[in-house]
Structure formats: structure tokens, C-alpha cells
Structure 1
Amino acid sequence: MRLNLVNAVDAGGQPLRLSIEGAHIAATAVAGPSLDMAGARLLPGLVNAHDHLQLNAALPRLKFRASYRNASEWIADVTPRISRDPCLLEHRAAPRAQRSFMGGLKNLLSGVTTVAHHDPRGAELDIPGFPVDVPELGGWSHSLAMDGEVAVRESRRAARPDKPWIIHAAEGIDGAAAQEFDRLEALGCIAPGTLLVHGLGLTAAQQRRLIDAGAGLVWCPGSNLHMFGSTLDPELMFAAGRLALGSDSRISGERDLLAELALARELTGWGAPRLESWVTEDAARLLGLRDRGRLEVGLRADLIALPPELPLADAARADLRLVVVAGRPLYADAQLGAALGLAPVIVDGQPKALARHLVAALRATRLQEPGLDLVDHSEEAMA
């Protein structure tokens, strides 16, 4: 793909002309079409540091008591219902590749171009037409409760040193959750490259030890509040540059990363520049992804376009004017989409456009993305 984006501005509102050649940002204008962005603000594509891609689509948030003390209680409530709940059964009946695709689509529509997927890696994640990029992790375990100490220790020892190793930990508000950090530390799992997910049971002293070890934390405030009624104070981890934001899946988290970002702003009062760099450049750095997170020559052409002067934390997915993943425009406003050859769709009541191979994949599955409506073939022809 060769494309020039003209009449745009950068995150700070300065004029920006950006050219794309193949999957990367080009140094100069390219021999390809020019797209008038009408003053849109360009940002790097968003990085979602935690999701379970196969657990999204139209699945509801799950909760079977007023609140939980730790994640094990929630899992114990959910597990027996997997085999009898009609909604869960219908979702599981779809091939895993389709379920993962729907999770990728959820992320794409919210401006996410990179997802850290915390589950077994299926071949579908590496198909060129997958909606987002899903980098391979250095390794992962689910949790101490699910996997046991021996398996967790061996997983950490086997992890690649140049990529992150991820585990759910301290996910709860009781003593058992708080003790998980000490158990992981004793097992040798708190080390450079380790990323704990959730961590609301961490004390300030434990957070400092995590920082001193060169490890980090993925914060999922929506999931925490849904399950436990409280969440972590993120200031210490953020100040050390060791914090990223994750959406988690829809069975516990918010609708998408944009909703999580709005919630994070509500909880912290952080300003727009801080929030925007946090879910782009800072998140890419924490995940060890040096080829993205900034709009610089030679880096991956992962980017989003926002209406002029709209802060990212105020944006909903229908506000996004353009989403480009590795140089491929995949989601756009209707007018831009028509110029790019995308297919018309409706997102949250607004006319938008989606890459045609993604629309074809949606037509081939019974799973649905709430708020996304496909345009009838006859209507598309008339358009």
C-alpha cells in the first residue's frame, strides 16, 4: 500500500503530512493517492496490553454474586455455567478462529492496532488478514491458582528473555491475592520482562519490589471494579514507567480499550497528553515492541485519526476517522472509506467503512459484534 495522508496534524496540533509505503512510515511522499484528512489528528495505533481475544463478541459481563474476594471465586462461579448457559454455549459452538477474529475486530474498531493476547496462540492470529497485530509473547501462565507453582516456575524459566512473560496475579482483595506476589517472587518469577496482570492486591512495598526487579503491571480497572468493587492506585507504577492498560475480555472488562481509557481518566484525573502517550509509545515500550508506538519514519504504519481537537479519552469508536494497521487502512469514516475502497457498514448508528475481507469474514460467522451492522449487498451496490 502506498498512501499519503495530507492536511492532518500531530498529537500536539502541529501540521503533519504522513506517507505510507508497504507496512511502514515513509520518509518522503510516495507515488500513491493522497487522502485529505481535513485537519484530523493523527496518533499512533493503540496498544492493548491484555485481552483474551476469543472471549468477546456479544458475550455479557459475567458475575454471579455481589462481589468477589479473589479471581478464584469468580472462576469457580463461571466454570460450571460454561456447559449449560445458552449464551456461553452458543459462543463456544463457533470455531475458535472465528471467536478470536471477533476479539480482533472489537479491538480494531476502538483504534487498537496491537494486542497482547493472554491465551494459547492459534494459527489464525498470524493470518495476514487478521484485524490487528498480535505479537508473540516470550511466554505466559494463566495464574498460580490455575496452573500451580511448578508449571508457573517452569514457564517463567523457559520464557524468551527479549519478550514479556505475562501472568494474572494479585487479582483480588483478600490475603490470598496479596500473597501471590510473594509466592511468585520466591519462585524467581519477578524479574525483568515479567508483566503481572491486575495486581490490585499489591501493597506499595510489593509494587516497589516489582519496579526494582525491572518488571511491570497491566492495569484493567473495568474488570477490577466489576468483580471486586475496587482497583489499584496506579500512580506509583505509572511514575516508574512500568504500567500499561488492558481491556481484558468482555466477560469482565469494559466494552473496549477506549472505554477503559475513559474510566482510567475518571479514576486518576490524568490529562490528555499523558493518557495518549500511555496507550501508544509507553505501552509499546513496556511490551518490548520497538517498531511501533510512534509516528516516525521506518516504524510500522500503525495509526489512528481523530477529529480535530478531540482528546482520545473522549472518543468513542464511531468517532475514529481512520485506523491503519501495518499500512493497511481497515476502518474509516464513510467518505474516507469510499475513497479507499472499503465496504460501507454502520457502527453505533453512524455510517462507517470496513475492509472488505473483514466484512466477508463477518458474513461467514454467526457471531455478532454489538453495534456493528453490515450493509445489505443491494444497498451497498446502490451506494
Structure 2
Amino acid sequence: MMLTEINFDGIIGPSHNYAGLSPGNVASANNARTASQPREAALQGIAKMHANLDLGLAQGFFMPLDRPDDRWLASLGTNFPDADPYLQAAAMSASSMWAANAATVSPAPDSADGKCHLTVANLQAMAHRSHEWPGTLAQLKLAFAHDAFQVHPPVPSPFGDEGAANHLRLCSSHDAPGLEIFVYGITGGKYPVRQHIEASRAVARYHRLDPARTLFVAQADAAIGSGAFHNDVVAVANENVLFCHQLAFADPELTYAAIRAIMPEVEIIEVPRNIVSLDDAIASYLFNAQLVTIPAGDGPDGGMALIVPTEARDNAAVWGWLEEMVRGNGPIRKLVPVDVRQSMANGGGPACLRLRVVADPATVDPRFIATPEKLDTIADVVAKTWPQSVSPDEIAEPGFVAAVHQARSALLDALDLSELV
């Protein structure tokens, strides 16, 4: 098999709104109760996928989940028209668009059975996300039905698991055995911890990982308390590079030493707190970036690219540090700003929108693999059917609910994925 990294982006759903449902997510709280633009949001995400294809990267996508989630409401003894506003908002949430929280992925070279393992995240810390996993699991089982994959159900409650947003993988190349790092929280002060070490250890067992090449690392309390509700807000890894903030981990020196003991060739790029503050890093989502390897012949000196939100470019301290970094002789040689402002306003940057899967593209259901033409088809459906604007007060209106159902059905039909209805 020809293994390569495929970025699967969540298509931003027609119910995208700013209800402010996520304590600890600074952007979500700051923009709560404002009007969102679902159509613009989805088109921004599609443009990002087009840009990835232009870089020569393999790209896939996941469908929005059915919203509102009537089955979840029924389990609570109510229905959408009769539910209180909080439950209505939670049932209508489009947060499955952040595919980094869909699952944790361990590629075949890391597992004892030679399969690529995916464990769907339970997301039990937040009500509006806790009911995503059944729909996500159904989609993962469809996309990765080939025998090359093993798809697992979620870790049981009460052990919170937030998927790949708290997982790092280092390796000499994507198709080589890697070092997998599970980052968990201990206490976030005023904000809830979302990733539990018990969940991380369970996922590692499900995936049959080599304990000698698996680390469990505590996230810094200061990071969680400042709004880094997931580790991917303060750290990102790609092949042999770890790019992180100085305050990402509870004990950075011990963490770096443990990594180097297993993988001496690692390059750790730590951004100092006195140059880029934790607040600036979180506001700009500097680390919630896609750190990718540019295919040979497509990039400057065959190095890596950092796909960052335009908010990083707009922050003088952040952009100044990044420009100085790429002028050096380090592994990251190219900066690619992308406009995902609609997602950013709800607390999700470029990295939140994608799930990384190392696999042979030929083993993936082709309906989930992006091409320029397929992305154009998706954009055409979005432009015709996605609501243009919605405020949190409008999400319960019958007309909006009908529009959301119509839009998603049109997309499923266009991509021949009606079994996900």
C-alpha cells in the first residue's frame, strides 16, 4: 500500500450558529448571540480544501450531521419545538464541522495488527457535542469500511475523550512507525478539563500501540485556563517536527526529554512566552494550524508549510515571529494564511476543521475523497441551499429547521451519500 496523509475536513453545516455553548472556548464566548453566516462559513472551508489540493496534498471531507438531533432530544423526553432554548441550541449545533474532534487515529505502522485504527470521540464534556458520536461513527464506518481499517466505538463515560485535538504523532515519514503522544488535562481552573488520561490510555490499548513508543503528557493548567481547551490550540506536530508554545505542557523539559529519548531526530520549535504571549497565541490560533509536508517539487526546498488562519497574519507579534522563523534554515519554510473567519469566530481554526488519516487513498470510500470538481459541486450546493445568515434566536424557527434539512439532503444527494440521511 502507498500510505500518505489525507486531511479530512468537516464541511461546515447549514445550522452553523453562535449560541455560545462551549465554556472555556474564548472565541465562542466572545461571539455568543451574534449572527452567523452558514453559507459564507461553508464556502470558506471549501476554499481551504481547494488550497490544500493546490499544495499537492491529499484531501477528503466529512458530511454535516443531521440537525436538529431529534433522537437525542427524544432521549431527554422532549422534542425540538417543545425543548427549552438551551437544548434547542445544543440539538442544532453544527460543531461536528471540527473534524479534529471526530476521532483519534493511529496509522497502520504504529499498530500491532498493521491496521489503521480510529476511535470515535465521545465528546462528553459538552452537551452540544456529546451527541455527535453516533452520527460520526456511522460516517467513519462508511468511509473506512476497507479491511485496512479498524473503527472503534467511543470510550465509555465518564472518561472524556476529544479525539485528535489532544493527540500528536511524530515520525521520520508518515508511512514509518511513529511516536504517539496523548495530551490530557488535570485541572483547567475556571474551565473544564476535556481530555482524561483514562480515555487516552484506553484509546492506546484499542489501537494496539507499542507502549515503548507511546507517551501520555499533561497539558499545562495555564493553557487550559487561558482558553486552550484542546491541546491543538497550543501545539501541532508533523513528521519529525513539534511546534508548540512554551506553556503548552505542564512540564515542557520533561516532555521534550521523553520525546528525544524515543526519537532523537525530533526538531522541537518552541515559541517563547515573552515573544508571543499565551493570550496572543490563543487569539490568533497560531498553533491551531495545519503543519504539512509539501510534496517534493511543489514547495520551497521540499520543506513544510504552516497553514494558519488570517488572524495569525493580523497579529503583529505572531506574524513577526513567524516571518523570522521561515527566514531561517528550519523545517517550516512556507506560511499559508487562509480565511476561515466564520469558524474562528466559534473557536475553530484550520486544524480544528480537519482529521489527519495516514492511509492508502485507494482503501477509502472514494465518495469521501476530494477533487477540484467535487469541491465545486459542494460549493454549488452550498451557494444554492445553505442559509445566508442566522441569529441564535432564529434557530428554532420552523422555516430555518426546514432549510437546514433541505440543504443537507441536497448535499447528500449530490455526493451519492443518501445512506447517511
Normalised to the residue count of structure 1, the TM-score between the two structures is: 0.33
Query: Which structure has more RCO (C-alpha within 8 Å, separation ≥ 6)?
Result: 2
Bigger proportion of residues as helix: 2
Normalised to the residue count of structure 2, the TM-score between the two structures is: 0.31
